[in-house]
């Protein structure tokens, strides 16, 4: 199978760096350019220092159109502006990692890129809107229930993300001296990912109107999302485990565990782990991902693999940190 040519726009940030770490070793990819306005002509390894000795790529201000796919790793609101100013041509596939094109009622040309929700549509897509990190973890916890029309009770969510979820620009709440040995809530009840979560659940369960209470938290660690959800259901724990196992049987990165799970099992991987526990009619769902991989760049590469007919796992057999 021939290699494809890939461009990365916004390659100096966290998501751009993760894409580079994956794509440098992807067997079917040639990186044509890495674009950055702030790091022009600098060696990629001077910014992403862990790539020293792995690549001779340099950041460029030039955008080549001789590519098969471009990844947009830009800030929210910037992707629409970039594409308006830099048309890519009809032959170039686009995978956007911002939130600019996630709303399907206004952006019909972009397919919402959650493989566990609509893999076949992704395979045929020209343009992909990559899901948000919290949205990915939370949807993976709920999709099997929505498919079986089982979401009618209020959904309560508490989810904690690492500091990389805030991006690379420094602020008070991302600095180590503030974040270490600390925990805080932000955007309670109104996080921007709530919209795409409801959109996806309604796609599977058309009468979905259950209220969602979402309390996001900043954790004292660098990467990963640990989400804990509660709903009520009359289904037994055994029935639920079978329902979830069946739903994810054809999705290689999402796994159902019958033992309690912890964040280090997924950090540095494209995996999602889900754990279910019943107490009377109350169901606890734990869903964990790496926010930079399954929650961003890893999922973007997974989408690229599907779009080009590659093995869905190509370039994504990554090792968890373990300890």
pLDDT along the chain (323 residues), means of 10: 94 94 97 92 93 94 90 93 89 95 76 97 97 96 98 96 69 69 86 85 94 93 96 97 98 98 97 98 98 98 98 95 77
The CATH number of the domain where 41 resides is what?
3.40.50.720
- What is the model's pLDDT at position 191? 73
Q: How far is CA 93 from CA 98, 111, 179, 305, in A?
A: 16, 12, 38, 12
- What is the model's pLDDT at position 173? 65
- What is the model's pLDDT at position 38? 85
Domain of 266 in residue numbering reads as 133-289
Shared domain for 138 and 281, answered yes or no, is yes
Residue 283 CA to residue 247 CA, distance in Å, equals: 18
- What is the model's pLDDT at position 170? 52
Shared domain for 81 and 177, answered yes or no, is no
- What is the model's pLDDT at position 276? 98
Rg of the Cα trace of the chain?
Answer: 19
Which residues, including other chains, have CB under 8 Å from residue 209's CB and lie 6 or more apart? none
Shared domain for 138 and 261, answered yes or no, is yes
Phi and psi at residue 119, to the nearest 5°: -60, -45
Instruction: Using alpha carbons, select from 305, 311, 318 the residue that is nearest to residue 22.
Output: 318
Query: Out of 4, 133, 201, 306, which one is annotated catalytic?
Result: 133
Shared domain for 150 and 218, answered yes or no, is yes
The domain total for the chain is 2
- What is the model's pLDDT at position 76? 85
Shared domain for 103 and 145, answered yes or no, is no
Shared domain for 171 and 100, answered yes or no, is no
- Known catalytic membership, residue 133: yes
- What is the model's pLDDT at position 103? 80
- What is the model's pLDDT at position 180? 82
Shared domain for 126 and 137, answered yes or no, is no
Q: Which 8-state DSSP code applies to residue 105?
A: T
| pTM for the predicted model, two decimal places | 0.94
The CATH number of the domain where 182 resides is what?
3.30.360.10
């Amino acid at each position: 199978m021939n290699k494809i040519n890939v461009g990365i726009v916004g390659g100096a940030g966290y998501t751009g760096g993760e894409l580079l770490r994956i794509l440098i070793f992807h067997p079917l990819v040639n990186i044509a350019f890495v674009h950055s306005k702030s790091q022009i002509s600098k060696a990629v390894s001077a910014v992403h220092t862990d790539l020293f000795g792995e690549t001779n790529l340099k950041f460029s201000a030039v955008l080549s159109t001789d590519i098969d796919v471009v990844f947009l790793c830009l800030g929210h609101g910037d992707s629409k502006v970039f594409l308006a100013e830099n048309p890519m041509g009809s032959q170039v596939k686009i995978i956007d990692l911002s939130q600019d094109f996630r709303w399907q009622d206004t952006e019909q040309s972009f397919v919402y890129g959650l493989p566990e929700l609509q893999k076949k549509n992704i395979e045929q897509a020209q343009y992909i809107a990559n899901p948000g990190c919290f949205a990915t973890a939370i949807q993976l916890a709920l999709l099997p229930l929505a498919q079986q029309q089982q979401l009618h009770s209020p959904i309560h969510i508490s989810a904690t993300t690492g500091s990389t979820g805030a991006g690379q620009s420094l602020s008070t709440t991302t600095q180590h001296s503030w974040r270490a040995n600390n925990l805080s809530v932000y955007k309670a009840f109104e996080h921007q990912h709530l919209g795409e979560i409801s959109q996806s659940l309604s796609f599977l369960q058309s009468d979905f109107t259950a209220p969602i209470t979402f309390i996001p938290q900043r954790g004292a660690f660098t990467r990963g999302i640990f989400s804990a959800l509660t709903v009520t259901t009359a289904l037994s724990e055994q029935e639920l485990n079978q329902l979830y196992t069946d739903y994810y049987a054809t999705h290689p990165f999402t796994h159902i565990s019958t033992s309690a799970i912890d964040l280090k099992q997924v950090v540095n991987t494209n995996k999602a782990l889900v754990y279910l526990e019943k107490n009377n009619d109350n169901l606890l769902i734990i869903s964990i991902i790496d926010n930079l991989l399954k929650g961003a760049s890893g999922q973007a590469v997974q989408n690229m693999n599907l779009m080009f007919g590659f093995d869905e796992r190509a370039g994504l057999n990554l090792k968890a940190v373990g300890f």
